[in-house]
Structure 1
Amino acid sequence: MSARRLREDRLLHEAEATGGDPRRICDLFGLSVGAALRYTSTIDQPGLIEHTLRNAGPARRPEPE
């Protein structure tokens, strides 16, 4: 897993854990208010974080025919 993907996962997790508090995300990760709002807006979408976590593994190779 790349460092970028780990950071995004952590940001999404923190957004969910704080109930969507953009100020906390700004303070923890040094993001602008706009960027923090983009992450906190995801908590209103049920299943998005679970989908992201499920698909965070390495890319799957197509099976041979």
Structure 2
Amino acid sequence: MEPVSHVWINDVLGIPTSRLREDRLLHEAEATGGDPRRICDLFGLSVGAALRYTGTVDQAGLVEYNLRNAGPRPRRSSGM
């Protein structure tokens, strides 16, 4: 077996590998609550670069987007 190349990923997924990496960075920034140290450790970024990604976590547009796309809220049971 050969390692997967960026060409294969681009062809199969239909997006550039750089965009896939950026998506994973932004997701991890959100999942960790904006922890730049975690981003540095996982992706090998400098502190400055990690801060640019974690700086997106508290942006109002992202919060609204996540709320709109979170799906239906769980229903409360009224059995009490």
Q: TM-score, with normalisation over the residues of structure 2?
A: 0.58
CA offsets per residue over residues 8-64 of structure 1, 9 Å max, x none? 00000000000000000000000000000000000111334887xxxxxxxxxxxxx
- Please tell me whether residue 40 in structure 1 is matched to residue 54 in structure 2: yes
Q: Please tell me whether the aligned partners of residues 12 and 49 of structure 1 are also in contact (alpha carbons under 8 angstroms).
A: no
Matched, 1:9 2:23: yes
Structure (1 or 2) with the larger CA radius of gyration: 2
2:76 aligned partner:
none
Q: Which has the higher helix share?
A: 1
Report if aligned partners of 1:16, 1:43 keep a CA contact under 8 Å in 2: yes
Let me know the Cα RMSD of the aligned residues: 1.9
AA aligned to 2:23 is D
Q: Any gaps of 5 or more consecutive residues in structure 2?
A: 1-14, 66-80
TM-score (normalised: structure 1): 0.71
Question: Unpaired segments of 5 or more residues in structure 1?
Answer: 52-65
In 2, the alpha carbon distance for the partners of 1:31 and 1:50 equals 28
Partner residue in 1 for 2:71: none
